[in-house]
Amino acid sequence: MERDLPNKIDIQKTYDEYRPVFQEILSKIEESLKKTIKISSAPTYKNRIKSFNSYYKKILRQKPKEAAESKTLVTLTDMMGIRVICAFLEDIDLVEKQLEEAYDVKEIERKGAQQSFREFGYESRHVLISIPQDCLPDDKSIYLPPDLVCEIQIRTILQDAWAEVEHELIYKSEFNPFDKPLRRKLASINASLSLADTIFQEIRDYQNRLVSELGCRRNTFYDKADELTDKELGTSRDNSSGHQAFAPVSNKAGSIDDLVLQALHEHNVGNFTQAVHIYTQILDSKPEPPDVVKAVILKHRGMAFFAQNLYDQALEDFKESEKHDPKGFRTIYYEGIVHGVQGKDNEAIECYNRSLGIDPYQSHVYYRRAISYFVLGDYNAAMKDITSAEKLGLNDDDLKALKAKVIKKFDMGM
């Protein structure tokens, strides 16, 4: 019995007629993805329509009978594809989750997940989605097969780079049995890229934790400063909410990065003596580069001293930190806070002036300088700084309370 053969000319004519339709759909889906996917580092997007030659070869392998008999478009799952290229491994799971929440997901394939380290196939997450209603062609008369899907590929930058090279070296050419040494070289390159992705993620994890610890430590410092300021101004606040709790950190000594995280943790949970001890240990280790590390660690240790009401030691550390980083506007601001709680408002104002001279867009520095002006009885200068803080977006209860006190002084005729 003679087999019906697919008519390549007819198939290409149909496929070419759909190409502009595919491009319209792809453009709409890409715009939709850009609105839907929210991760810390914005991904890069690439879209592509499968070339006819690749399409034709694949339907001959997978759907030859349907291609020979069908008078309409024969669909494949990868005719339309969009790559979402992320910076970090952690982003892949986040993007997949957001796709599942926003679209009708038909299938998820984790390519390369089961490969051994000797293999050189690329890794990628492939998600098949139905075409969303708002991404259909504007011309509603166009027939679209009901099983039409778009393939969303999620990769890291390094996975995508490898896939591009692999496509040229392997997919487009046939390796023969004598290519074993080349295969080993490719496997080695792939392993190196995978290791680089893992290391990048580890660094990212460290940074995320460091940012969390630093944020908590800074808030603790400001809360302490606010508490002392309240006593001076005769106001009160509710500090019953407490601070964020963090998982314990090992006491085992490690790299400077490990020690910094450990010190910040001890600082954040209120173990200030232990935090000072670790900060001192880092400083005694003669870290490199010395000015950069010392400026940061001295600033942290000064904040730990401040939390213990050891104002002279705190001020000494802040000033020493400034020597290593003269442009450290935040450290200079902290110096001003210490002078302020010690009742040395003229010295505090001098520090705030220097800090604002480096970065004039610090709303809280204007607020703190306004407090010192208020204490010194210079209500016009205080109101001017309050206005500056408001212009920069500061609108909390502390600023409002200070403004009310200044207005009251004006009403009393000063």
Q: Using the predicted structure, report yes or no on whether residue 218 has a pLDDT greater than 80.
A: no
pLDDT reported for residue 254: 54
3-state secondary structure of 107: strand
Q: Which residues pair with 111 in a beta bridge?
A: 124
**Cα distance between residue 281 and residue 258, in whole Å:** 12
Q: What are phi and psi of 235, to 5 degrees?
A: -115, 175
Beta bridge partners of 44: 85
Q: How confident is the model at residue 413 (pLDDT cuts 50, 70, 90)?
A: low
Q: Can you read off the two tokens belonging to residue 4?
A: 């019906």
**Is 78 in contact with 151 (CB distance < 8 Å)?**
yes
pLDDT at 200: 85
Higher pLDDT, 259 or 47: 47
Around Cβ 199, how many Cβ atoms within 10 Å?
10
Q: Could you report the per-residue pLDDT of 97-138, keeping only the tens digit for each?
A: 999 999 999 999 987 655 544 444 456 799 999 999 999 999
29-37's contacts with Cβ under 8 Å and 24+ in sequence apart are 29/80, 29/82, 29/129, 29/131, 29/132, 29/135, 29/150, 30/82, 32/132, 32/134, 32/135, 33/82, 33/84, 33/152, 36/98, 36/99, 36/102, 36/103, 37/84, 37/95, 37/98, 37/99
The 3 state secondary structure assigned to 110-162 is EECCCCCCCCCCCCEEEEEEECCHHHCCCCCCCCCCCCCEEEEEEEEHHHHHH
Query: What pLDDT, on the 0 to 100 scale, is given for residue 269?
Result: 84
Whether the full predicted model's pTM is greater than 0.85, yes or no, is no
Please check the confidence at residue 376 and state whether its pLDDT lies above 80: yes
Q: What is the pLDDT of residues 23-66, one digit of tens each?
A: 999 999 999 999 999 998 899 999 999 999 999 999 999 999 99
If you search the block for the tokens 């010194």, which residue do you land on? Answer: 376
What whole-number distance in Å separates Cα of residue 355 and Cα of residue 363? 12
**pLDDT tops 90 at residue 260:** no
Q: Among 170-179, 234-243, 291-300, whose mean pLDDT is lowest? A: 234-243
User: Is residue 355 within 8 Å of 336, Cβ to Cβ?
Assistant: yes
Phi, psi of 80 (to 5 degrees): -120, 130
Residue 67 in tokens: 């291609």
pLDDT of residue 226: 72
Bridge partners of 151, per DSSP, are 81, 128
Per-residue tokens: 350: 């001098």
Output the pLDDT for position 267: 85
Residue indicated by tokens 């460290």: 206
- Top-ranked range on mean pLDDT: pick from 164-168, 248-252, 356-360: 356-360
Whether omega before 289 lies within 30 degrees of 0, making that bond cis, reads yes
* 246 pLDDT higher than 50: no
Cα 140 from Cα 15, distance rounded (Å)? 18
Determine the Cα–Cα distance for residues 241 and 245; give it in Å rounded to an integer. 12
**Taking a C-beta distance cutoff of 8 angstroms, is the pair 365, 356 a contact?**
yes
CB within 8 A of 114, min separation 6: which ones?
A: none
* Spatial CA neighbour of 46 closest among 201, 166, 159: 159
| pLDDT at residue 250 tops 70 | no
List the single range of 204-218, 223-237, 358-372 with lowest mean pLDDT. 223-237
Where residue 251 falls among pLDDT bands split at 50, 70, 90?
A: very low
Rounded mean pLDDT of the chain? 85
Give the pLDDT band of residue 249 (cuts 50, 70, 90).
very low
User: What is the pLDDT averaged over residues 378-396?
Assistant: 94
pLDDT band at 404 (very low <50, low <70, confident <90, very high): very high
Query: Which pLDDT score is estimated for 232?
Result: 63
CB 79 within 8 A of CB 106: no
CA 295/CA 283 separation, integer angstroms? 10
Q: Name all contacts of 331-334 with Cβ < 8 Å and 24+ positions apart.
A: 331/295, 331/299, 331/302, 332/358, 333/362, 333/364, 333/365, 333/368, 334/221, 334/299, 334/302, 334/303, 334/306
Q: Phi, psi at residue 140, to the nearest 5°?
A: -75, -10
Can you tell me the distance from the alpha carbon of 354 to that of 295, in angstroms, rounded to the nearest whole number?
A: 17
Is the model's pLDDT at 245 over the cut of 60?
no
- The backbone torsions φ and ψ at residue 83, rounded to the nearest 5 degrees and listed phi first, read -95, 135
State the pLDDT at residue 95.
Answer: 96
